[in-house]
Structures are given as structure tokens and as C-alpha cells.
Amino acid sequence: MRNLIDPLDFTLDETINILDLADRIASNEEAYSHVADGKKLATLFYEPSTRTRLSFESAMLSLGGKTLGFAGANQSSATKGETVADTARVVSCYADIIAMRHPKEGAPLRASMYSSIPVINAGDGGHNHPTQTLIDLMTIRHRKGRLDNLTVGFCGDLKFGRTVHSLVNSLVRFNDNKFYFISPEELKVPDYLIEDTLIPNKSVYKEVRSLEDTLPELDVLYMTRVQRERFFNEDDYIRLKDTYILNKEKLQLAPADMPVLHPLPRVDEISTDVDTDKRAAYFEQVQNGKYIRMALIMSLLELTDPLTGKKVL
């Protein structure tokens, strides 16, 4: 039995295979409409989510399966003191696969240790968001035609942004990728990402403060919001939340084929006047989210691809 807790739980070849399956699903979704008949997905979401939870549910329904679960810790037995381990044991009796989001880092990993069914990490604190990483890889590959030899800029909250941490960990596995980390000092990329990922992989990176100066250098721009829920001090959040705002005027500084990604939700870090620009890729990411999660559910449940007659993992 396989789980997806960290983006690196899959080998590079397995990652590519899942991206390829997602592409096949996107091209012929109807062919996959009954591959999970009789299967159940449990969505255990201990913190708020719109896209991720609904995307998982839509993915399972599109495969012919069913869903159950909760959309907040206050709707679960966590309010009575039940542990993540016990919840995983219990839900294993009701479902075939679990998608879990939790504010505490490591909670989905702990759930996987006690679950008898596959567990997918749908985001744990500021740590990892592996399904979003696969979505980002799929979107970049669609827009740029490759996942290597790219200069990628990450802008905004790089300290708490789990999507940033996960994507960097994956992109360093492809050859010759370079990184710009654009943030205020208080929200700069954490030291462990530099020391444990970038330096060992001999990745070229720069930490900078100016978005405008960096835009002309980029192949891909990944914007993030400053996350109010990660701050202990409201004054710090208010002071930093509007540090970087991408608008149509600033976007004129960027290459004509530079996609703008964002994991959403946005607040005001991307102006709505960017939405009509062909480089805006963030709603494409949302659509790709369903296809990636369909591919993941199929892969972890060891379901056969009806178009190839093979299993992915």
C-alpha cells in the first residue's frame, strides 16, 4: 500500500507517470468515469478549504466513486479529544482512501502509520502540499513544454508557504532549474529549504526584494498570499500583506510567455486586471487539480488505466 505524504514519496519516473495519466484524463475524461465504481474517498479536513476539498470530491465522483467526510475540526470527534491515529483507524473501516488536511505538521504522516487504507496529504501546516505540487508541475509543463532548464520566481510568503516548499523540492529533481526567492526579510525562504534541498542539489538561487527588477529574468512566476492564519501578531500581518501586488502594469515587464501561477485563494496580491492576460494560469491550475487528484486516486487504489490497460504505480 502506498501513501502520498511528501512530494518525494514518488520517484521522478512515478511523478512523470502520474502527470501523463492526468493528461490522458484531461483529454478523455469520459473514459475514466467508472474506474472507481464502488470505491469511497474520505475527506478529513481539519482546517478550511474550498478548492482542495471540493477538488478531491469532484475527482472521486468523476471516477464513479463516492465521498464522505468532514470540512472542519469542529465537525469531527477531535472536539472530544480523539487522536488523529484513532480517527485514521476508524475511517479505515468506512472508506477505501483518505485525503487529510490538518494545521499540524506531520498529522497526515501519523494518520498513515495507523490507517489500513492509503492516505493523501492535502496540506499539513506550513510543511507540505504534495497534490498542489503535482498540479503546479502539470500546469508548468503545459505552459512551457518542459520541467527542466527553467528560471522560476517565487514571490510573497516564502516562510510559511507550504506550496512553495513542496514545489522547490520537486523542481530541484529536474536539470538546470534556477530560482529567485522574492520576499521581505520576515517572510524569506526558511533556512532548512536552502540547507537541506538547494545546497545539496547544487541549485542556483537568489534571494531578492524587488519583484519589478526580477520579472524580466523569469520563465515562470509563482505568486503566494501572505497568510493571516500563520501569524501570531495581527500587526505584523497588516504590515506585510500588501508588500507585493502584481498588476497589469508590472506584468508588462515580464516575458510574453511567462505563466503566472498561484495556489489560491488570492487576496489582493494579484490584481483582477491580470485575469484576462494570457499569462494568467491560476484558474488553469484549479482545473488541473481535478485531473491530478483523479490520477492520484487511481494510482494509490491500484486501479487500471482503461486507455493503457496498465496500473501507474
Strand ranges in the chain using DSSP code E only, listed in sequence order: 40-45, 66-70, 97-102, 119-124, 151-155, 178-182, 204-208, 220-223, 260-261
* Selected catalytic residue, list 24, 40, 101, 143: 101
SS (H, E, C) 213-267: HHHHHCCEEEECCCCHHHCCCHHHHHHHCCCCCECHHHHCCCCCCCCEECCCCCC
Indicate if 209 belongs to the active site.
Answer: no
Could you tell me if 48 and 75 are in contact, meaning their C-beta atoms sit under 8 angstroms apart? no
Q: Judge contact between 54 and 290, C-beta under 8 A.
A: no
DSSP annotation of 3? -
- Establish whether 51 is a catalytic residue: yes
276 in catalytic set: no
| Annotation marks residue 66 as catalytic | no
C-beta separation of 3 from 300 below 8 A? yes
- Position of cell 507550504? 162
Active-site hit among 24, 39, 43, 52: 52
Q: Choose, from 127, 129, 241, 262, the residue flagged as catalytic.
A: 129
Pairing of strands 97-102, 151-155: unpaired
279 is catalytic: no
Decide if 248 contacts 274 (C-beta within 8 A): yes
Q: Catalytic residues, which ones?
A: 51-52, 80, 101, 129
